[in-house]
Amino acid sequence: YNLIYFFRKHGMGKIAIYGWGEAGRFLYEMATDAGIEVSYAMDRNQFSDESRLPVYQSFQELPEVDAVVVTAIQAYADIEASIRPFFTCPIVSMDDIVAECKVDLIDSAVS
C-alpha cells in the first residue's frame, strides 16, 4: 500500500520497471492491482516470454512513462547513469520510494 501511495502522491499513473527479477515482478503485481499502469519492464538479462508485460533489453525509443522505477537497489547509480539519456521522466530507486513512504507513514502517525 505504501509504495502505491508514493506513485499517487507524485502523480505517477504510468510507470516502467527496471529490473525484472523478484522485486520487479512484485512491484508489477502490486502496482497493477492498485490501478497503476505498468507499461513495460526493462532488464539487461533476457527473460522468457511468460510475462504479460513487454520486457526490453534495449532502452532506445521506449514509450513515455511518468517514472522509471529501478528495483536493483545496489546498482541504482550505475543504472540511472546508463539509462538517463533515454528518459525525460524521473528515474527513482525502489530504496528511495520505501524511505519516503516510511517518513510519510511516521509523519502521519505523529500528526
Q: What is the pLDDT of residues 16-73, one digit of tens each?
A: 999 998 999 999 998 998 899 999 999 988 766 666 789 898 888 899 999 999 999 8
Q: What predicted TM-score, i.e. pTM, was given to this entire model?
A: 0.87
Q: How far apart are CA 67 and CA 62, in angstroms?
A: 12
Task: With CA atoms as reference, report the closest residue to 57 among 42, 79, 72.
Answer: 42
Closest CA to 55 of 38, 36, 72, 71: 38
Alpha-carbon distance values, 103 to 6, 98, 106, 107 (Å): 11, 9, 5, 6
More confident residue, 41 or 108: 41
